[in-house]
Amino acid sequence: MPVNTLDSFAIIPTGKALCAEIRGVDFAEPVPYDVRDAILKAWAEHLVLLFRGMSLDDDQLLRATEYFGGQQEAGSRGYFMRAGFKPGETKSVSVQPGISVVTNLDDDGNLQNFAKAFGNLPLKWHSDNSYVEVPPTGSLLHALVVPIDGGGETSFNNQYLAYETLSAEMKTAIEGKHIRHDGHRSTTGTLRPTMELPQTRDDITGPVHPIVRINPLTGKRALYLGRHYEFPSSHIVELNDEDSEALLVPLWAHATQDHLMWTHDGWTAGDLLLWDNRCTMHARTPIDHTQPRVMHRALIKGDPVISPWD
Ligand code: OGA
Ligand code: MN
């Protein structure tokens, strides 16, 4: 079967609120401009793209980021490096800054054989690296080893739709508002190395982003919530603690409704998911601690967040 031609290229929408499978593309081979443009168009329309049957090493995965804007170092890497870890010493600080190893194996390659091990925990709804000043445009997640019926299902939701379906009152309530995005905790909710649990909002040191952002790929507005932990954590900077939570709680409930969502519940080795962090969030169920799961992720370089207000 030929790949990376417009003849081989096919889009199969999931029929859900987002995501389509793309056939006829292999990032191990050069992707010509016309096919890249077709992928970008499909990405703009479907927000999350699923490619199957890939077998990419880290260099090839990083090369794939070039079609979408290049690579970006993961924010979490810096926390581990500030804690004294050197590249390659732990999977949390990969040798290649653009690669993150997402796995339930420990640094010796053994199963972290208990359910509460960091790598087996569920991941809360989030948009990758919203806690950095210029968050990555997108992410590429490549499955190398996956459990069989062992959890680790990854869900995505459509934050254009979340914005568009807000009530008029909610739209007015968030108009002109911004969230300070808390980087103290990882997506499992556990404290990052060198970080102490914040006691008041003044302890929260992350960047401030508008609560709605414009995605330059489509020109459309999307809700941009980042992640939500127990207060004190991410908050609306224009409101006091209580009013901020009183607005964030219903916003999160609205943004994470089932009908906005699609779940990849059949991860297969060789799958590659490309998602847009500007207009989607994702979450993951816990992983069966008796089965290995190994994914390599590359972040796509971001551009400054575009606010509809500032
Ligand atoms: C990530 C992530 C989900 C998963 O790598 O950013 O959220 O299914 N991973 O492991
Ligand atoms: Mn993530």
**What pLDDT score does 41 carry?**
98
**pLDDT over 90 (residue 3):** yes
Which residue, chain included where needed, has tokens 């390599």? 296
Tens of pLDDT, residue by residue over 222-269, are: 999 999 999 999 999 999 999 999 999 999 999 999 999 999 999 999
Q: What is the CATH number of the domain that holds 71?
A: 3.60.130.10
Ligand nearest to the CA of 273: 1
Residue 307 is assigned to a structural domain of this protein: no
Tens of pLDDT, residue by residue over 152-176, are: 999 999 999 999 999 999 999 999 9
Kindly give the number of the ligand 1 atom that is closest to the alpha carbon of 295: 10
Residue 189 is assigned to a structural domain of this protein: yes
d(CA 265, CA 19): 13
**What pLDDT score does 37 carry?**
98
Q: What's the CA angle centered on 228, arms 256 and 211, to 5 degrees?
A: 75
Residue 309 is assigned to a structural domain of this protein: no
The environment of the single-atom ion ligand 2, i.e. residues with CB closer than 5 A, is 128
**pLDDT over 90 (residue 143):** yes
| pTM of the predicted protein model | 0.97
The alpha carbon of 124 and the centre of ligand 2 are apart by a number of angstroms equal to 9
Q: What is the mean pLDDT of residues 209-222?
A: 98
Nearest CA to ligand 1 atom 8: 154
Nearest CA to ligand 1 atom 6: 128
Residue 3 is assigned to a structural domain of this protein: no
Q: Which domain holds residue 219?
A: 10-300
Q: What is the mean pLDDT of residues 100-128?
A: 93
**pLDDT over 90 (residue 132):** yes
**What pLDDT score does 113 carry?**
82
Q: What is the band of 118 on the pLDDT scale with cuts at 50, 70, 90?
A: confident
**What pLDDT score does 136 carry?**
98
d(CA 142, CA 273): 7
Tens of pLDDT, residue by residue over 35-60, are: 999 999 999 999 999 999 999 999 99
The alpha carbon of 276 and the centre of ligand 1 are apart by a number of angstroms equal to 13
Residue 310 is assigned to a structural domain of this protein: no
Contacts of 75 (CB under 8 A, 6+ apart): 129, 131, 132, 183
Kindly give the number of the ligand 1 atom that is closest to the alpha carbon of 128: 6
Q: How many domains does the chain have?
A: 1
The alpha carbon of 102 and the centre of ligand 1 are apart by a number of angstroms equal to 7
**pLDDT over 90 (residue 181):** yes
Tens of pLDDT, residue by residue over 61-113, are: 999 999 999 999 999 999 999 999 999 999 999 999 999 999 999 999 999 98
The alpha carbon of 186 and the centre of ligand 2 are apart by a number of angstroms equal to 10
d(CA 35, CA 38): 5
Rounded (to 5) percent helix, strand, coil in the chain: 25, 25, 50
**What pLDDT score does 1 carry?**
79
**What pLDDT score does 96 carry?**
95
Q: What is the band of 301 on the pLDDT scale with cuts at 50, 70, 90?
A: very high
Residue 2 is assigned to a structural domain of this protein: no
Task: Specify the 3-state DSSP secondary structure of 222.
Answer: strand
Looking at residue 118, the DSSP 8-state letter turns out to be G
Percent of the chain at pLDDT > 70 equals 100
- Residue list, ligand 1 pocket, CB within 6 Å: 102, 123, 128, 139, 141, 152, 154, 282, 284, 295, 297
Amino acid at 7: D
Residue 305 is assigned to a structural domain of this protein: no
The alpha carbon of 128 and the centre of ligand 2 are apart by a number of angstroms equal to 5
- Name the residue among 97, 113, 101 with its Cα closest to residue 144: 101
Total Cβ atoms within 10 A of residue 117: 15
Residue 19 is assigned to a structural domain of this protein: yes
Ligand nearest to the CA of 120: 1
Of the chain, the end-to-end C-alpha distance in Å amounts to 49
Contacts of 176 (CB under 8 A, 6+ apart): 238, 309
Ligand nearest to the CA of 127: 2
